[in-house]
Amino acid sequence: MQIVDRLFLKRLMLAGTKSLAIALLLMTSVTQPARAQTYKVIHNFAGPQDGEHPYSGLTNDTTGNLYGTTNGEVGSGTVFELTHTNTGWVVTLLEQFQTRTGEAFPLAGVVFEPDGSLYGTTSHSGGSVTAGTVFALGPVCANPECVLYQFKLGKDGAEPNYGSLLFDSGGNIYGATIVGGSEGQGAVYQVTPFEGGWREAILYSFSGADGARPFSGLTMDSSGRLYGTTTLGGSYDLGTAYQLTFTGSGWSERVLWDFQGMIDGELPTSSLIFDQSGNLYGSTCGYGPSGGGTVFELTPSGDTWILSTLYSFPGSDCPWATLTMDQDGNLYGTTVNGGNTKGVCYPGGCGTVYELTFSNNGWTYSNIHSFNGSDGQHPYGHMILVKGHLYGTTANGGTGGSCLSGCGVVFEINP
């Protein structure tokens, strides 16, 4: 699955630049060569035994166990747990989805809540309507697994994609679907506990000019405003960064940035993250000054937002996943392509893990790891930091199973 193919995601080439009340800044960046680090594969997926093709990132519990999903051709995907023992990591399947039971193909990861349950989405569902579900595993369910809501492929949204779910302090769930809604261009939804069950409400439906096809999840500020990205739509149909605010009578949308392509990137597939100062960070999968996507920062300035391009990737690298920030403000991410172009990685590359560090001279890029196929290939999911170690997944590669180009891996890096 080569999602960075330009035939898969729409590209518009428009002449000229947009007259904006906000400024576009291209920040100075420096590239450093790959540095010494410790990389190891802690699990190779093998197909029918434990799943295949983990497109999502991971989550962890307080004891250091790791959780994620696979979206495989064998079966309809899994939820797995990785537990560290004295002899290594042991995988346990918590759920194996089957289309006939009403769920299939989880693209997003799972999230933990204080009740000890795992929550996630599937991009498809069983029966005649394949619009996806919101599901849970654990104490919240009467059975080990339960469907909280099944989308109906209409105004209620359809096909929740790569973005993980978001919870507020009241236990309400937020997410986005790539299609459906009143205009068919995707929607932001809320699922809330109601009379012993759950009910869904659409908070906002995209119409195109205000954004379209949100692949990412959401983040929330201290005032309860929601933030996210759309891969398409906006003034140039190259994607947007947006804000949703509850006004008392409903939710209103504000476009924080319309992506223009060659100068700032296109196709923002990642969720946005905050730093301690209230700035937002994200990435685009394509274009930018070097052609292969960008990492950007959005900074509030009065009534406007300023976009700064922190780094522009070459070729078709595509930094697809949501960024990870450490306590010092360093950013970590992955590119789907790029890096090693030998062997099975020819010609586009198997992907990389990178770091961006800030100093008075700007942002410095470092290649932490280039995948070679046998140790993983094409990382789409975001990474997590646990006790100074990075953990992530690749959708392909590895040495397990008989999947075409490998079934995928879970990896650990000590950067």
- Residue 3 contacts by C-beta under 8 Å, 6 or more apart in sequence? 9, 285, 318, 320, 336, 380
Place 259 in a pLDDT band, splitting at 50, 70 and 90.
very high
Task: Work out the burial of residue 38: count CB atoms within 10 Å of its CB; fewer than 13 is exposed, 13-18 middle, 19 or more buried.
Answer: exposed
3-state secondary structure of 377: strand
Which residue in 161, 171, 112 sits closest to 133, CA to CA?
Answer: 161
Per residue in 6-17, pLDDT (tens digit) is 333 433 333 333
Q: Looking at the predicted structure, is the pLDDT value of residue 29 above 60? A: no
Q: Looking at the predicted structure, is the pLDDT value of residue 263 above 70? A: yes
Q: Looking at the predicted structure, is the pLDDT value of residue 48 above 90? A: no
Per residue in 55-64, pLDDT (tens digit) is 999 999 999 9
Per residue in 159-207, pLDDT (tens digit) is 999 999 999 999 999 999 999 999 999 999 999 999 888 999 999 999 9
Q: CA-CA distance, 190 to 2, in Å (whole number)?
A: 31
- Per-residue b/e over 201-240, b at no fewer than 16 CB within 10 Å? ebbbbbbbebbbbbbbbbbbeeeeebbbbbbbbbebbbbb
pLDDT mean over 233-241:
98
Q: CA-CA distance, 235 to 212, in Å (whole number)?
A: 11
Which residue in 45, 42, 16 sits closest to 404, CA to CA?
Answer: 45
Q: CA-CA distance, 70 to 77, in Å (whole number)?
A: 5
Place 74 in a pLDDT band, splitting at 50, 70 and 90.
low
Per residue in 339-387, pLDDT (tens digit) is 999 999 999 999 999 999 998 888 999 999 999 999 999 999 999 999 9
3-state secondary structure of 365: strand
pTM given for the model: 0.90
Q: Looking at the predicted structure, is the pLDDT value of residue 25 above 90? A: no
Per residue in 84-139, pLDDT (tens digit) is 998 899 999 999 887 545 568 899 999 999 889 999 999 987 555 678 999 999 99
